[in-house]
Structure 1
Amino acid sequence: MEKIKLWIPEIKFHLGLNILIAVFITIASYVHFPFGSLKGNLVYLAHFLLLQFSLFGFIYIFSLLNKVFKIVFPILFILATSFSFWVYTQDLTIGVGMIQAISETNSDIAIDVLSYQFVLFVLLSSFSLLLFFRLHKKSRVSSIKSPLFFLAIFGVLTFFVVENYKYDAFKNRLPYSLYFASVKYANKPKIKLKEVKEQVFTKEENLHIVLVVGESVRADHLSLNGYNRNTNPLLSKQKNLISFKKVYTPFTFTSQSLPQILTDKSIDSKQSHQEATSLYSVLNKASFKTEWIGNQSIERSYKDIIYSNTSKIIIDKFHSFQSFKKQKDLVLLDHFSIEDSKLENRISTLHMIGSHWYYNSRITSDFQYFKPIISSKYIGSLTKDELINSYDNTILYLDNFLNILIEKLKQSSKNTILIYLSDHGETLGEDGKWLHAQRHKAARNPAMLVWFSNNFKEKYPLKINQLKFKKQDSITTDFLFHSILDLGKIENYKFENKKSIFD
């Protein structure tokens, strides 16, 4: 009996610590599950208890390093609670996609997404852990002589037994998901740009391709594609405009989708070294003037692609794309000119902030047409109608942006074509999910439009007929690289004509 009393403080310490972990971290992975029947409830309860027991095993063994544990564990705990807040409030999956989206995004973006609810949650979890450690300051944390040590061994074995029985049963749940997603991201090969060694050339003259890269715009929220709201009042009046509503991408966040769109990298590629060729590198070789005008912070995953342009302008580089002070997209047109030397071929890429969260920051007050609109960055406090209204208002702003750009392009004497393609779509409440950077079909159908000048129409009637013929086809974002090289009549460089929307 006396021996049991010796271990009571240690038992209380680890029991209390696991309760804290469960409340602030682990349960976040279970609260959104549709448990259904009594059996379903019991299954998930058993799953949760086994996961928590396995965590106890790892934590106990870690706590054998007493001094290191007391320094490192609080840091890991606060980091995990920071992620669990988003899992609690938005039912996000902490996977390699989210780790990449976070790690390849500038630090100012991380600051901009903070809400007071997030800060309060992290402060509450930190204070609770601090208070817990103070109350157990004199408790013996762990010992290899303790019966809990042998129980911890069983806990660790539980992890491997369950994972062997069902792969990723624990790895997809917090806090394990945070670790394993980071490992997958660290081991993930990155795109390495290949040098264009061929003597590329073109016989094309006086061609101007305007590529507008959108952000978070889904095809089914364009009235051009049959959406029940008039989100395209201006573009619907434009002639020479074709909308493609069946475009697919598996990549639902910019840092992965953009490198694929702007290179010859296929969405189905299994290449281990992730080598790819920048679209602009090929066009440079063919003496195209290449220019990039962007209203987003540059991310590591596509930085080299941007810098393969001969001219680069990054607007408002010190404000992230979720900042209240971020410049609106119309400022892009202040840096865009149609004045060009005669016969010179040119591609101009405009990278929009588009419909990225926080929606109200993307538009000016005169585009707050659909109401009520959102009033907080904390999605949990907003209604579905408010969120969709604000999102649709960004589509109205896009409609205005593209309309102004088209009117400007009409004044050019060049053979001009505009291709608008969003990098991915957006989830808007489907299955309780919002925003992007998560695996959902709603975010995999980006909007795409093509407009062409009368000069272009007269010179390339077969290409126009082909566009009209293919507008109902299901295509992937692979089309862009090959379509633009087809447009430019690039010779002595191998690309896939069959993927071109003009072929």
Structure 2
Amino acid sequence: MSDKLRFTLSPQFLFFYTIIVLLVPNVTLSITEGMPLAAAVANVLLPACLYTLLMSLSGKTGRQVWILFPLVFFAAFQMVLIYLYGSGVIGVGMFLNLVTTNPDEALELLDNLVPALVIVFVLYLPLLFIAGMQWARHTRLEATRRRSWRRAALLGLAASAVYTAALYVAYPKGEEKKGRFEYRVEDDMYPFNVFYNLGLAVRESYNSAHYQERVAHFKFGAVATHPADSAEVYVLVVGETARSRNFQLYGYKRPTNPLLSREQGLIVYTGVRTQSNTTHRSVPMLLTAATADDHDRLYHEKGILAAFGEAGFHTAFFSNQLPNHSYIDFLGEEAHDVRFIKKGKSAKLFYDVELLPYVKSELARGYRKLFIVLHMYGSHFNYRDRYARSRALFLPDTPTEAEPANRPQLLNAYDNTIVETDYILARLIDMLRSEHCAAALLYTSDHGENIFDDKRKLFLHASPKPSEYDTDVPLLLWTSPAYDRQNPAIVGNLRRNRHKGVESNASVFPTMLSMAGIKTKARVDSLSLTNPAYRLGVRYYLNDHNHGVPLSAWGIK
């Protein structure tokens, strides 16, 4: 055996190799998060001492590495996220995504993250391989070395703990409002912040799992004010990953809305922002009275489908996303008719056009009062798999790997998904128009998307730090001629409010109820787009710890 190989297989090498690769996220985050030098030193020094202490607890170094596998996994996960978003620690939302994302979607994403996976494999697979070999060979670290390194680690921990405590004085809580950095271990020191977020994710999962028990006896006390014999149909379409800047209706240079741009009764709302850049947070707010600054309502109240049902409407929920035992599922299941059209199918080709027959069938049943919610797959990555090959307008739309060099092709594919959405919405409007009754359709998206748009090279969405791209969403509203005749004041207000700016998650619930003439104490009329006195207030964003924070904190208007 060569001296070089003997050194590589030595427990001393593995000891320090482990500490170094575990510290890679600490060093990287100290740079990407823009923290002061004093905080960056703490972010590296204290974890380095901790990792040294943990590795010195056993002479069986190879086994110890595998015992610390959660730390290795989080380090690899963290580096993938930094590749995707450029910054941000593993957040609560990321952990929830792990348990709510369907396997096909996850594999689809991994297939297109080759550079990030190569980095992870180079850093962490050799570590686990060498550790496995040393474990199998029963290789041990000398006890005297371990004791020496353990003493050094304990002294370092004590000193760095005092140093870290001093940062709480130097950067106190509350100063962030004055534009200053505030220091908190649970926010700023990896991996402590990761484990803190994991705990919050477990608590959120528990709340979600017990949601139906908590709201079992909840009632909106909803009352219908429109004539009982009037025929009404309302459709709420929840899009996925669609940003308004790629809609022709919003001034985009490409013809991505060839059908809707000719629709006379369409109201296009400008200056619309979502209150979350994640599906599992945004959609529940769209379907309930909960908002970023009043989020706890989600845990104790039912959703918009239940409210319409109480008011005498037949309700339906049709989703092109797979069920994942989340709030979205539970809120959808409050409808009379529920279909997850991809349930039980293994496919990555989620075509939203497949929702149309379900709507047509529901309309054909002749309900006097009908409310339908559609949950689309929309423009979710991989964009290329959201529309049929024959319907691709912008080419080439490959390759699809998540690399800045592929932005032109990724943008072509993304724009094709917007064209597909345009077609589906136009078909829905045609269906409603043919009903010859008071009807309305409201469309918005859960969040937007980053597509390597600027020098930050951000991609996808769901980063703990929102951007102007992944919070940018459209909001479109169509009303039928019959609805216009019966509700001229409401339609007039809807049109007058179209350029005042909207927080979609706050306004959809009260707007839909108001349009349908449904009264309930849960309806906050100041947020409704039907209100003649409607004004956009402070824009809020639901941060990773479920706190409503002004969106301006991230420099977003």
Distance 1:284 1:270, change over 3 A: closer
User: Who is 1:314 aligned against?
Assistant: 340
Q: In 2, distance between residues paired with 1:179 and 1:243?
A: 43
2:55 partner letter: Y
Q: Distance in 2 between matches of 1:473 and 1:385?
A: 33
Matched, 1:409 2:420: no
Trace 1:254-403 onto structure 2 (pairs within 5 A).
254-269=279-294, 271=296, 274-299=299-324, 300-318=326-344, 325-337=348-360, 339-340=363-364, 344-376=368-400, 378-380=401-403, 382-403=405-426
Give the C-alpha shift of residue 151 in structure 1: 1.5
Query: When the two structures are aligned, how many residues end up with a matched partner?
Result: 485
**Does the Cα contact within 8 Å between 1:50 and 1:158 map onto a contact in 2?**
no
Distance 1:346 1:223 in 2: 31
8 A Cα contact 1:13 1:139, kept in partner: no
What does 1:203-282 correspond to in 2, within 5 Å? 203-204=225-226, 205-269=230-294, 271=296, 274-282=299-307
Match for residue 552 of structure 2?
none
Tell me the alpha carbon deviations over residues 305-335 of structure 1, each in whole angstroms, 9 at most, x when there is no partner: 0110110011112457xx6x32311000021
Write the mapping of 1:10-49 to structure 2, written as runs, cut at 5 A. 11-22=12-23, 25-26=25-26, 28-29=28-29, 46=41, 49=44
Kept in 2, the 8 Å contact 1:56–1:155? The answer is: no
In the alignment, what sits opposite 2:130?
A: 131
Residues 230/145 of structure 1: CA separation in 2 closer, same or farther (3 Å cut):
closer
Q: Does 1:483 align with 2:511?
A: yes
Q: Contact 1:246–1:472 (CA<8 Å) still a contact in 2?
A: yes
SS in 1 for 2:353: helix
Question: What is the alpha-carbon distance in structure 2 between the residues aligned to residue 271 and residue 178 of structure 1?
Answer: 23
For the pair 1:84 / 2:75, whether they are aligned, the reply is: no
- CA offsets 1:86-138 (integer angstroms, 9 cap, x no match): 42354353212222222333344333322283665555532443225535852
Distance in 2 between the 1:392 and 1:174 partners?
A: 38
Offset from partner CA, 1:379-398 (integer Å, 9 cap, x none): 13743222222212211111
Distance 1:168 1:480, change over 3 A: same
Distance 1:187 1:161, change over 3 A: farther
TM-score, reference length from structure 2: 0.78
Q: Calculate percent identity across the aligned residue pairs.
A: 22
- Bigger Cα displacement from structure 2, 454-463 vs 488-497: 488-497
Tell me the amino acid that sits aligned with residue 526 of structure 2. Answer: K
**What SS is found at the alignment partner of 2:72?**
helix
CA distance in 1, matches of 2:71, 2:41: 25
User: Partner amino acid for 1:304?
Assistant: F
Match of 1:453 among 480, 484, 498: 480
2:174 corresponding residue in structure 1: none
Give the secondary structure class of the aligned counterpart of 2:322: coil
Is this contact kept in 2: 1:198–1:492, CA < 8 A?
yes
RMSD across aligned C-alpha pairs, in angstroms? 3.3
Question: Letter of the aligned partner of 1:202 in structure 2?
Answer: A
Any unmatched runs of 5+ in structure 1? Answer: 1-8
Q: Who is 1:3 aligned against?
A: none
Please, what TM-score do these two structures have when normalized by structure 1? 0.85
Deviations 1:207-262 (Å, cap 9, x if unpaired)? 10011110011122212112222221211111100111222222111111111111
User: How far apart are the structure 1 equivalents of 2:403 and 2:31?
Assistant: 14
* Structure 2 unmatched runs, 5+: 1-9, 172-182, 532-557
Q: Which amino acid aligns with 1:433?
A: L
Asked whether 1:101 is paired with 2:117, we answer no
C-alpha distance 58-334 of structure 1, shift in aligned 2 (>3 A) = farther
457, 465, 471: which one aligns with 1:432: 457
SS at match of 1:450: strand
Following TM superposition, by how much is the alpha carbon of 1:426 offset from its aligned partner in structure 2, in angstroms? 1.2
1:85 maps to amino acid: V
Q: Secondary structure at the match of 1:383?
A: helix
Which residue in 2 is equivalent to 1:496?
A: 524
Give the C-alpha shift of residue 33 in structure 1. Answer: 7.2
Q: For 1:457, give the aligned amino acid.
A: D
1:418 aligns with 2:446: no
Residues 238 and 354 (structure 1), Cα distance of their counterparts in 2 relative to 1, 3 Å cut:
same
d(CA) in 1 for partners of 2:413, 2:71 = 36
SS of the equivalent of 1:317 reads: coil
